[in-house]
Amino acid sequence: VPAILVYPMWPYIMVKQDAWSESFGIYYPLSLAMIPGSMIAGSTPLGGGGGGVVAFPVTVLLIKLQPAHGRDFSLIIQSVGMTAASCLIMCSKPHLCHVWLIVWSLLSAIGGMILGFSIELDGFAVNIIYTTSIACFAMAYMYRNVVLIRTSPTPKA
């Protein structure tokens, strides 16, 4: 459903604004980086955050955008991926959509947005918080899926 809405709009806006050369001439590293970013997003339990995980460092370190702009782009990419995943789950597996889970998620998201919009952080703090969060997630994920599996006793047949 989201693709039916987005795909016709994207070429229309690109042609109307004559943005082909700017988008692919200047920002081509971002287009190339988002190919593996989409694969990471679809294959990890970050659940759509994988695109954002790749987008932020590429926009800040490679394209040299301000950290606030990289953060915003990363959140846009993540929200598009999460919305597409949500629509897919609601259409293909509606039994997984519990009302209390949706309400709790919406209330948490509203609280997070209010908090996020009310706090102004400099670029260095954004980089440190982002890097620390991703590193902590990666270590916990590796511990759970590598270390615990190797150390758990195997059942004997």
> What is the reported pLDDT for 122?
83
> What is the reported pLDDT for 46?
53
Write out residues in the chain with pLDDT < 50, as ranges.
none
Question: d(Cα 51, Cα 48) in Å, to the nearest integer?
Answer: 6
> What is the reported pLDDT for 32?
82
Residue of 111, 132, 105 whose CA lies nearest to 47: 105
> What is the reported pLDDT for 107?
92
Query: pLDDT tens across 9-36, in order?
Result: 888 888 888 888 877 887 788 778 778 7
> What is the reported pLDDT for 106?
86
Residues 6 or more apart whose CB falls under 8 angstroms from that of 137 comprise 46
